Amino acid sequence: MKAVIKQKPQMYQAWQKGFQLVEREMPTVQNPDDIQFKVVAAGICGTDVGIYNSKDSLKNSMANISPDGVTIGHEFCGRITDAGAKAKLRLANQVIQKSKEYKEIKKFVKNRTAAQVAKDKSFIDYLNKNFIATAEMHITCGECAQCKLGDYHVCTKTVIRGLHGDGSYAEYIVLPAENTLIFKNGEIPEEIVGFMDAIGNATHTVQVLKSIKGKTVAVLGLGVIGLMSVAIAKGAGAKKILVTDASHGENTHEKLETLKFKMARSLGADVCYDVSIPEEKKEFYKIAKEQNHGAGVDAVLEMSGSYHAYDDAFNVVRMGGEIALLGLTSGTLPVDFSKHVIFPGITIHGVIGRRVWSTWDIMTEILKKGLAKRFMKAGFVTHQVPLVDYDKGFQAIINGDALKVLLRP
Tens-place pLDDT, residues 198-255: 999 999 999 999 999 999 999 999 989 999 999 999 999 999 999 999 987 667 777 7
Confidence of residue 55 (pLDDT cuts 50, 70, 90): confident
Give the C-alpha separation, 126 to 168, whole Å.
23
Residue 322 near residue 341 (C-beta atoms within 8 A): no
Mean pLDDT throughout 321-329? Answer: 93
Task: Kindly state the average pLDDT of the residues 35-40.
Answer: 98
Look at 113 and 13; give whichever has higher pLDDT. 113
Q: Is the pLDDT of residue 407 over 70?
A: yes
pLDDT at 11 over 90: no
Query: Cα–Cα distance between 70 and 42 in angstroms, integer?
Result: 16
- pLDDT for the residue 250: 63
65 against 42, higher pLDDT: 42
| Helix or strand (DSSP H, E) at 297 | strand 297-302
d(CA 84, CA 180): 13
Q: Are 71 and 21 in contact (CB under 8 A)?
A: no
pLDDT band at 13 (very low <50, low <70, confident <90, very high): confident
So what's the pLDDT on residue 255? 74
Mean pLDDT estimate for the chain = 94
**Residue-wise pLDDT tens digits, 370-383:** 999 999 998 999 99
> Residue 179: how many CA atoms within 13 Å on its side-chain side?
30
Q: Per-residue pLDDT averaged across 31-39, rounded?
A: 98
Mean pLDDT over residues 88-101, rounded? 97
Packing angle of the helix pair 123-130, 85-99 (nearest 10 deg): 50
Contact 229, 324 (CB under 8 A): no
Q: Is the pLDDT of residue 151 over 90?
A: yes
DSSP 204-253: HHHHTSS--TT-EEEEE--SHHHHHHHHHHHHTT-SEEEEEE---SHHHH
Q: What is the 3-state secondary structure (H, E, C) of 87-156?
A: HHHHHHHHHHHHHCCCHHHHHHHCCCCHHHHHHCCCHHHHHHHHEEEEECCEECCCCCHHHHCCCHHHCC
Per-residue model confidence (pLDDT) at position 216? 98
What domains lie within the chain, and their CATH numbers?
2-194+379-408 (3.90.180.10), 201-350 (3.40.50.720)
The CB density around residue 315, as the number of other CB atoms within 10 Å, is 14
Predicted TM-score (pTM) of this structure: 0.93
pLDDT the model gives residue 30: 97
pLDDT at 101: 95
Q: How do beta strands 404-408 and 381-386 pair?
A: parallel
Q: How many helices (H) and strands (E) does the chain have?
A: 18, 18
Q: What percent of the chain has a predicted confidence (pLDDT) above 90?
A: 86
pLDDT the model gives residue 257: 76
Identify whether 357 is preceded by a cis peptide bond (ω within 30 of 0).
Answer: yes
Q: How far apart are CA 190 and CA 46, in angstroms?
A: 20
The residue-averaged pLDDT of 170-185 equals 98
What 8-state DSSP symbol labels residue 338?
A: I
> What pLDDT is stored for residue 281 in this prediction?
96
The whole-number pLDDT of residue 59 equals 84
Which H or E element spans position 361?
Answer: helix 358-366
Half-sphere exposure of 7 (CA within 13 A, CB side): 12
Q: In terms of pLDDT, which residue wins out, 300 or 379? A: 300
